[in-house]
């Protein structure tokens, strides 16, 4: 099987929560999952070749064996609480669609590739 080798050098902070994390909390993963890698490749294919290329790119990408190799030498993690809006459970009683609440977020900065 041929390998597709890609190097990624982060340019900004990112947050990549585990799949079973809730919307109001969850620690960030330090490296992308195989699913995140496949979705990034699909995103690039659609942005560069157009939406019409999406289905064919999806078929090629979904069967790829994705494996993150190693981790950058340094990682900085910022853990913060942010104010967010979430859907109101009792819309009729409270007269609003969204309710303010707080959420826990982690943002990661990596050095190197």
65 occurs within a structural domain: yes
**Where do the H-state alpha helices sit in 28-90?**
34-49, 54-62
89 occurs within a structural domain: yes
4 occurs within a structural domain: no
Q: Please report, rounded to a whole number, the percentage of residues in the chain having pLDDT higher than 70.
A: 96
Q: What is the pLDDT of residue 18?
A: 77
pTM reported for the whole predicted model: 0.65
**Where do the H-state alpha helices sit in 63-110?**
91-94
Indicate whether 78 and 94 sit together in one domain.
yes
Residue 63 CB contacts under 8 Å (≥ 6 apart), including other chains: none
Q: What is the pLDDT of residue 54?
A: 92
Residue 62 CB contacts under 8 Å (≥ 6 apart), including other chains: 38
Domain containing residue 59: 32-69
Residue 95 pLDDT > 70? yes
Indicate whether 48 and 87 sit together in one domain.
no
């Amino acid at each position: 099987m041929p390998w597709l080798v890609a190097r990624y050098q982060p340019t900004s902070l990112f947050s990549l929560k585990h799949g079973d994390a809730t919307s109001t909390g969850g620690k960030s993963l330090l490296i992308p999952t195989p699913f995140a890698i496949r979705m990034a490749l699909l995103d690039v294919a659609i942005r560069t070749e157009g939406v019409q290329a999406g289905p064919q790119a999806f078929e090629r990408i979904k069967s790829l064996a994705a494996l993150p190799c190693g981790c950058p030498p340094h990682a900085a993690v910022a853990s913060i609480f942010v104010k967010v809006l979430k859907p109101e459970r009792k819309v009729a009683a409270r007269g609003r669609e969204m309710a303010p609440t707080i959420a826990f977020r982690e943002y990661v900065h990596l050095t190197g590739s």
